[in-house]
Amino acid sequence: MHHSAAVNGDLTRLVPTSEDDLHLLAGWFADPGFVEHWGGVPVSREEVAAKYLGCRRPEVESFLVLAQGEPVGYAQYWYAGAAEGGLDMVLVAGARGRGLGPDAARALTNHVCGILEWQRVTVDPEVTNVRAVRAWEKAGFRRVASEGEALLLEYRPVEGG
């Protein structure tokens, strides 16, 4: 597993989370509006510390999404194999609808396909989360399956490109 450096998009910058981010993340994950499509249930500070700080889970790389230097969301990628894995992302309500999600998604996808040489990247937003599905599609993901409440989308880099 690689520990990541910052990842730059055109509108966003993704920086690895640290222990210093616990208070901010705990506040976000305790907000029902923030977790509406992220499990739907507010998460305790202890669970946030265990799951969403980059140094705590070696199979997951965790990031704060910044826009104009301000934290506006959380993103992560996780390994599913040597050359593939998945992405997850959630933005604060005030950051939605401004193109930040697709920008951060493209930046993270370019990172895992470029630096890590992934050949397949998946995301699984809820079918009812139309805004997230649209954002992933704008970032180049294509629908491949429906699994209950979740929609499976994938991105595969173009060969030789």
pLDDT band at 5 (very low <50, low <70, confident <90, very high): confident
Residue the block writes with tokens 């301000």: 70
| Residue 53 placed within a domain | yes
| Residue 1 placed within a domain | no
Q: What is the residue-averaged pLDDT of the chain?
A: 91
pLDDT band at 55 (very low <50, low <70, confident <90, very high): low
The three-state DSSP-derived secondary structure of 8-71 is ECCCEEEEECCHHHHHHHHHHHCCCCCCCCCCCCCCCHHHHHHHCCCCCCCCEEEEEEEECCEE
The predicted pLDDT at position 161 comes to 45
pLDDT of 3 > 70? The answer is no
| Tally of domains within the chain | 1
pLDDT 10s digits, 136-160: 999 999 999 887 788 999 999 876 4
Could you tell me the residue range of the domain that residue 49 belongs to? 7-155
pLDDT 10s digits, 85-101: 999 999 999 999 999 99
